[in-house]
Structure 1
């Protein structure tokens, strides 16, 4: 025996539940997962560069790129591996990726974008709360407090400091936004149940999501033919925030610190706004600065136990 899982080829120490307890491995996996947050920060800017491509069409195109990105490695694992994956892993992967986007677009169609976006961005806080259900995880007050600070910063960022007023006429959109947040939080936390499933399999989940999005596009939208610049933006989306990001997020949620990943996720809208400001597509205002302070402070607070452990090692 070479110490590898006979089905996946992954070293057994990476697939056992106790592996996440090794500080070096856990910290490295958390850093890998955090790369997804950096990639998601480019989502808004790249989306603006795609022009008026309808959302489901854009999702189908970007996820096709993202799926093809990892397909060679997935195929190298063999078709037998894909057939032997637990049904729950297929349902979780496809349901998480497609379900999030489906309910997000449903929310945007039936509620103001600011309201829907704010409710949808409950998912980092929900990840932190749901992490208490995982074996071997302890939710301490500083984890929750850090996530709440991050949520407060996101509220300032999304609303521009103007507040938000939820109205009964948009109840369907609000409900869809909350379901969207629940789906992504549940997917991210439940992913820890399948550490033996190789990250390469995300390629299949992306392609399945692309197929489902294409069906929704044909049912609900009119096709727009992209120009060369829009094709480049779609390619960048598939390599980055709507494709490649899901590979590193998969590894991070399976083997890293899910509580920190949840809190760090609030940096995505902050960095996204910073990119829009740098590109001249948004203005730097006091809510942006205040949001940065709250989100950074929340991340620092949520990292308290990691920082203490690092000091002890030094």
Structure 2
């Protein structure tokens, strides 16, 4: 029982680390550049995962999982990191983080589509609520405004497109890898592949050379620990901890992430922003609740005389 609590705490630690990722990635990319900073973060994360999770043999994974799953993973992580790094300012970076958290609702939607099972019509208003929450936040302090929403997106279409694409990619990844992974996890290889892809992009970018000092190295190590350490702890938590508790807490990551981002980046978020965050979080919980697997009723046996 005590060991189970320890693994559950490890999962809770992972949720905390995941919640800090948006702020930490933004912090590093401000100092080292959007591409170079992201490449350094994923390189450090890959090393941390090699030391903690290990580097399993590639032959133990199916070719389809490595190619398709790996491609989706690398694409998602690049979309996430670059959308945060290329945001116009810190507030917009937090918006990118919130857009990223559309993936829980999208994951549920794709699961329903792929399985072709019937589901309550309430799923679709719930999904709409998550997008409404993002639109509410991106519109600014005046609440939902289509003209302001369009103007904000047009101010940085690349970042917004990357963030939204990442949410769709991760939702597809979650559904496909569940079918292809056969219970195995190539996360270390996927992180290494992401680092390589970012270094290739850095070679063809026009970013200035990266300059390192103690504060930059400290922030880089924190970001790498949050990414790599978060996945390592989460792996422990879901394998041996209280999965129901961890799954429930994970749906509140948008709230935790927004709060930590505001604290770490020195932002004061408006009530309108928080309203959008609550909408996205509540929509995720609704989507999960509507499509959860209900336990089959146990038949009542008649007592024998």
TM range (shorter): 0.5 to 0.7
Equivalent residue pairs, number: 274
Q: 1:5 — aligned with what?
A: none
Q: 2:4 — aligned with what?
A: none
Greater Cα offset, 171-180 or 209-218:
171-180
Q: 2:3 — aligned with what?
A: none
Q: 1:270 aligns with which of 255, 261, 272?
A: 255
Report if the CA contact (8 A) 1:99-1:183 is conserved: yes
Query: Could you tell me the TM-score, scaled by structure 1's length?
Result: 0.66
Secondary structure, counterpart of 1:182 in structure 2: helix
1:256-267 to 2 correspondences below 5 Å = 267=252
Report if the CA contact (8 A) 1:93-1:187 is conserved: yes
Q: 2:67 — aligned with what?
A: 91
Structure 1 portions without partners, runs of 5+: 1-28
1:56 aligned onto 2:38: no
Query: Could you tell me the TM-score, scaled by structure 2's length?
Result: 0.68
Report if the CA contact (8 A) 1:119-1:177 is conserved: yes
* Residues 170 and 287 (structure 1), Cα distance of their counterparts in 2 relative to 1, 3 Å cut: closer
Report if the CA contact (8 A) 1:97-1:205 is conserved: yes
* Residues 131 and 230 (structure 1), Cα distance of their counterparts in 2 relative to 1, 3 Å cut: same
1:243 aligned onto 2:228: yes
CA deviation profile, 1:117-160 (whole Å, cap 9, x unmatched): 37665434322211113449654334444343333333333443
Q: What is the Cα deviation at residue 224 of structure 1?
A: 1.1
Whichever of the two has the greater Rg, that structure is 2
Structure 2 portions without partners, runs of 5+: 1-6, 299-305
Give the RMSD, CA atoms, in angstroms.
4.5
Report if the CA contact (8 A) 1:57-1:217 is conserved: yes
* Residues 173 and 235 (structure 1), Cα distance of their counterparts in 2 relative to 1, 3 Å cut: closer
CA deviation profile, 1:17-45 (whole Å, cap 9, x unmatched): xxxxxxxxxxxx99998876543321232
Secondary structure, counterpart of 2:212 in structure 1: coil
1:14-53 to 2 correspondences below 5 Å = 38-50=16-28, 51-53=30-32
Q: 1:129 — aligned with what?
A: 109
